[in-house]
Amino acid sequence: MTGSSRLPPPLAGAGRVAILGSCVSRDLWRMAGAPAEGLLYMSRTRLPSLFGARPRGLVAPEGPAPGLRPNPAQALQADLTKTGLARLAAFRPEVVILDYIDERFDLLAGAGGVVTASWELETSGWIGLPPLPGLNRVEALGDADATLWRRSLDALATLFAPGGALSGARPVLHAARWAGALRTASGRTEALEPDLEITPGRRAPRAAHNARLEGMHAATLAAIPGLEVVKAPESLVFSDPDHVWGLSPFHYIPDYYAEVWRQLGGR
């Protein structure tokens, strides 16, 4: 998958940029030391939850969830109250960067709606809000999840179609995937564990999630005409043990971010 060589890079001349994804893409600005003015960052919400309804009877408490930093707290509120789509449309982005790293979470579905079973939802204790304890858990690697995700991708594609809320924006896919090894600043490499704790007590295999991501990337390329793709080579897909957010298969070495930033044409 490659972007078109006939177009200028996505960020060239762009003012308002929206990230619909994860810290993987937001960290591009931080690692480049670039100003974040004109940047809308939406994370910790899966596509089926973004396009889904709020479960009947769910009322999110006012104020931030306990124990969370400001952005994760805001993201959790948006996921539960379903304000993300309206915020995205009102922002009128010129570029929308998609990445699917946060699609690793399960979903909670029922009572006419769906929410993301994120780490923040669980660790904040808000997973106990009625009616969430009674909803069905839809596992991220299951067939039911794949069906819900495909429907949400079709809904996303309509936003970029003529007349859609994002029809004036350039869609860009940051085709990120889980690293299988870490690399230190001195160049030493070491294999990572084959699975990861997604939420407390729930682990998932890297290989299965990478295969799932590959399928999502291909489906998105087929569903959204004009989609541009940025992707770091395998030689740069290493985790950084000194990353500001800690060691994770998707907290990469500095050269990873530098290469994706270059492909985007960041300033």
Instruction: Please determine, for residue 3, whether its predicted confidence score (pLDDT) is greater than 60.
Output: no
Give the model's pLDDT for residue 6: 63
Give the model's pLDDT for residue 15: 87
Pull the structure tokens for residue 108.
Answer: 């909670």
What band does 194 get if pLDDT is binned at 50, 70 and 90?
Answer: very high
Instruction: Please determine, for residue 202, whether its predicted confidence score (pLDDT) is greater than 60.
Output: yes
Give the model's pLDDT for residue 190: 98
Q: How far, in Å, CA of 227 to CA of 224, rounded? A: 6
Write the pLDDT tens digit of every residue in 215-235: 999 999 999 999 999 999 999
Give the model's pLDDT for residue 38: 85
Write the pLDDT tens digit of every residue in 51-69: 999 999 999 999 899 999 9
Q: Give the list of residues 6+ apart from residue 200 with CB closer than 8 angstroms, or none.
A: 119, 122, 123
Give the model's pLDDT for residue 4: 43
Cα 96 to Cα 41, 58, 87, 156, distances in angstroms: 10, 29, 13, 11
Pull the structure tokens for residue 139.
Answer: 């596992």
Instruction: Please determine, for residue 80, whether its predicted confidence score (pLDDT) is greater than 60.
Output: yes
Residue 111's region, left for phi above 0, alpha for psi from -120 to 50, else beta, is left
Pull the structure tokens for residue 219.
Answer: 């489906």
Residue 44's region, left for phi above 0, alpha for psi from -120 to 50, else beta, is left
Q: Give the list of residues 6+ apart from residue 233 with CB closer than 8 angstroms, or none.
A: 259
- Asked if 125 and 117 count as a contact pair (C-beta separation under 8 A), the reply is no
% pLDDT > 90, the chain: 93
Write the pLDDT tens digit of every residue in 93-140: 999 999 999 999 999 999 999 999 999 999 999 999 999 999 999 999
Instruction: Please determine, for residue 267, whether its predicted confidence score (pLDDT) is greater than 90.
Output: no
Average pLDDT over residues 238-246: 97
Give the model's pLDDT for residue 69: 94
Q: Which DSSP helix (H) or strand (E) runs through 211?
A: helix 206-223
What band does 199 get if pLDDT is binned at 50, 70 and 90?
Answer: very high
- Read off the DSSP letter of residue 84: H
Give the model's pLDDT for residue 5: 47
Instruction: Please determine, for residue 1, whether its predicted confidence score (pLDDT) is greater than 60.
Output: no
Pairing type for strands 17-21 and 95-98 reads parallel
% pLDDT > 70, the chain: 97
Instruction: Please determine, for residue 24, whether its predicted confidence score (pLDDT) is greater than 90.
Output: yes
Pull the structure tokens for residue 179.
Answer: 């690293």
Beta-carbon count within 10 A of 108 CB: 25
Burial class (CB in 10 A: 0-12, 13-18, 19+), 127: middle
Q: How far, in Å, CA of 238 to CA of 218, rounded? A: 22
Q: How far, in Å, CA of 4 to CA of 87, rounded? A: 29
